[in-house]
Chains A and B, each alone.
Chain A
């Protein structure tokens, strides 16, 4: 079964603001174990940038995904994560009833970020 990972991103009126996130996604795409599991990795934006999240989901299904795992690239459970993203996933389930959809924890929950924060603090001495 072909699987897709859709990274759900806020988006920005300044596209340069997405640069670091896109590097992170490229880093993931460069890892053989990640592409073996998710041959399709798409980015979808809530606001401002394209493709939007429904388009990114639809594209991954056009490319053959039978299962789509979405991960919110967000640091908080604010209104976007709590209210908007689950709704987008529900609508995708209605559009594609034969596809399996899963949603991961938002990025901010990961203890990996604690390690990065600690390093940012140490870099400042």
Chain B
């Protein structure tokens, strides 16, 4: 069974995974892989290791790791091997492959252009809607450095993020 795992950074705002989850859902719909999941390096859930475990439990024999990163920088070249090496040792019969980061692509210029064009004619605050959603889907996690601080979106009262 072929699995695809989008490897993503994660955020203190645990609802920040909206975009990567949307890409995963679209890739799932295209049915090129039997399993499409997202695994986060930091803060957000599920962790990369948890998603690998899920894929293997479902029968994955080949796992393609797709970095959801703009460039093959520190997190892709250093952090990913650090988390992947012990997992590979745990599942010696699974074939792990790592794909390239987004890097350069003319379609990134298309995305930039389309975002700018629709912003020109949009209502002033339309852009802020996805930002608000990110904090709404946050969860109160004791692992988060913002937990129980005034900056946590889950703490009632005055805060900096989207009152």
Contact = CB atoms under 8 A, between A and B. Distances in A.
Interface of A: 3, 5, 7, 12, 14, 17, 19-21, 23-25, 27-28, 31, 34, 37-38, 67, 69-71, 73, 75-79, 81-83, 86, 102-124
A34 B116 CA distance: 10
Contacts of B69: 75
Interface in B1-53: 4, 6, 8-9, 11-13, 15-20, 22-23, 26-27, 30, 32-33
Contacts of B73: 12, 14, 17
Given A28-B113, A103-B119, A104-B115, A79 B20 contact: no
20 contacts: A7-B112, A20-B70, A24-B108, A28-B113, A69-B120, A71-B112, A75-B9, A75-B70, A76-B9, A76-B17, A79-B12, A103-B119, A103-B127, A109-B115, A112-B108, A115-B107, A120-B66, A121-B33, A124-B99, A124-B100
A121 B116 contact: no
A14 B78 CA distance: 15
Interface of B: 4, 6, 8-9, 11-13, 15-20, 22-23, 26-27, 30, 32-33, 64, 66, 68-71, 73, 97-120, 122, 124, 127-128, 130-131, 133-135, 160-162
Nearest to A6: B116
For the complex, would chain A's binding face be called helix, strand, loop or mixed by DSSP majority? helix
B160 A110 contact: no
Given A82-B13, A121-B4, A112 B114 contact: yes
B134 A111 contact: no
B115 A71 contact: yes
Contacts of B103: 20
Contact of A105 (B101, B130, B161): B130
A5 B161 CA distance: 26
Contact of A24 (B104, B116, B133): B104
Given A82-B161, A104-B115, A121 B32 contact: yes
A118 B32 contact: yes
A102 B130 CA distance: 15
A3 B18 CA distance: 30
A77 B131 contact: yes
A86 B163 CA distance: 13
Given A37-B117, A110-B111, A77 B104 contact: no
